């Protein structure tokens, strides 16, 4: 566990998956497991605790895909309004003693527990590393680790852009960590992206 205190993981798994067509991408199998389950298992294999999963679209099916995992399921009835509603639902459900939270996208199955632990190792709010952002070849990706000092601001977010505006607003508090992998850049939004992922990883 991080020496700075408790760091939670919030898996955002509430989206409508509109670009995937009829299939809910979070239920698509990657390596023999639904994508949402794979991401949740990654979070559980890291030092982050607790692990929260925010559900919305096809919530029952997503919850079934997560059956047996030691995660807290958080319902977001407003998921159709945009990503910010899921961020806020997750933050509101965090224990009061959390010093920070990793925000994981449910459609990034190549991120590993080692990546998450590397981000937590870099987290040092007292040394202006209060927002830890993974990079690859100079490009910023996800997941992002946020200090609890930003939770109140995040509760004021609206729409479908996530918290990127806060990263820009608090640039002096950001630490970038080059994880040496494009896993932090690749999300699976379309059937074509899913095919490319399976071919690239031979899964």
Q: What is the pTM of this model?
A: 0.91
- Beta strands in 79-157, from DSSP E residues, in sequence order: 98-105, 131-136, 139-140, 144-147
Distance CA 11, CA 35 (A): 11
* Alpha-carbon span 4 to 7, nearest angstrom: 8
pLDDT of res. 2? 41
Length of the chain in terms of residues written: 203
Are the CB atoms for 100 and 8 separated by under 8 Å?
yes
Angle made by CA atoms 201, 86, 99, in degrees to the nearest 5: 90
- Residue 3 pLDDT: 47
pLDDT at 1: 37
Low-confidence ranges of the chain (pLDDT < 50): 1-3
Contact between 129 and 122 (Cβ < 8 Å)? yes
């Amino acid at each position: 566990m991080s020496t700075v205190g408790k760091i939670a993981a919030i898996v955002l798994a509430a989206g409508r998956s509109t670009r995937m067509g009829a299939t809910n991408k979070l239920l698509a199998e990657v390596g023999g497991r639904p994508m949402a389950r794979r991401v949740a298992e990654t979070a559980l294999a890291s030092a982050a605790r607790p692990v929260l999963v925010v559900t919305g679209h096809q919530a029952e099916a997503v919850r079934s895909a997560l059956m047996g995992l030691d995660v807290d399921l958080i319902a977001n009835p407003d998921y159709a309004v945009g990503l910010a509603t899921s961020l806020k639902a997750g933050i509101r459900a965090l224990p009061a003693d959390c010093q920070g939270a990793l925000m994981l996208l449910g459609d990034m199955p190549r991120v590993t527990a080692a990546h998450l632990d590397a981000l937590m190792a870099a987290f040092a709010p007292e040394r202006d590393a209060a927002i830890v952002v993974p990079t690859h070849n100079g490009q910023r990706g996800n997941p992002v680790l946020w200090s609890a000092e930003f939770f109140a601001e995040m509760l004021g977010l609206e729409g479908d852009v996530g918290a990127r505006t806060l990263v820009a607003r608090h640039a002096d508090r950001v630490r970038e960590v080059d994880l040496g992998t494009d896993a932090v850049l690749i999300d699976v939004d379309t059937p074509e992206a899913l095919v490319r992922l399976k071919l690239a990883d031979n899964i």
